[in-house]
Structure 1
């Protein structure tokens, strides 16, 4: 599979937003208030994260629905129909929704967590920018996921633009510190095994 072709380069404006893990919720709200005027899909890796985000958005008066594999097929179809009919602004989903479902005029997607592979990344962002429409793909990256993000970009064979024009930008000092801590943790684990 040619990932660059599948991603429909040119129709999707891709960016990575470096953010502290504790600021992800606030950054998500910032994007919804300031950069995403219409509908968005927020992708996460776990059902727990889907439910947590849906609860937070609901508490803040933002119309949303949650979608994941444990939901009965008929209910999933109802949720997708409501989203297509624009009855819901935000759809929070696991990778169940990353493939095969078309939303012709979806404005944006948010990768709330780094996907596990370049293929999943490509399928997630492919939900926007359909049928010659412009789309936006925002990927949140915290210090712990930076190495995973670098490897994903290497698999994509391209570098994604860094968006540093948001108020919750993770400092390079924190990024470096976290990377050093991860190396120390890894080193201490290997010493324990010996």
Structure 2
């Protein structure tokens, strides 16, 4: 008794297995792609080989976003360091620096497009800046005889954006 092997049976089986695996991966990729498109940025993004983004989104700050200001992240090294930025900001906004309860600085890309005509401010798009935040600055009480309306808050925050290369004040936002 001789056993005959059917030529082509093993290669067909291997090809079928590889094809099934590839179809499964294609299905998973298609589902991921559809979820990614419909789900927005809440789903994780996988980096494409060799195409690392130059700037990833930074955490957006609600009061700034309400004014049309968005922030980005960069890995570039600024010409000014954090201590220099804090010093320059304290010289430009001395009252805020003295009276604030806390101060912080963060290196970000500033995006503040000019959408009005005539230009209300320069168009700032992807500008490397130091964002210096002065928090809980006490509001000065007004004369009750002039305006009896009390303040809704007893403090405010001040965002100072400095050009990360020159130290020039680009924008100041009080919220």
TM over 0.5, yes or no?
Answer: no
Q: Which has the higher contact order (CA 8 A, sep 6+)?
A: 1
- More strand as a share of residues: 2
TM-score normalised according to structure 2 size? 0.22
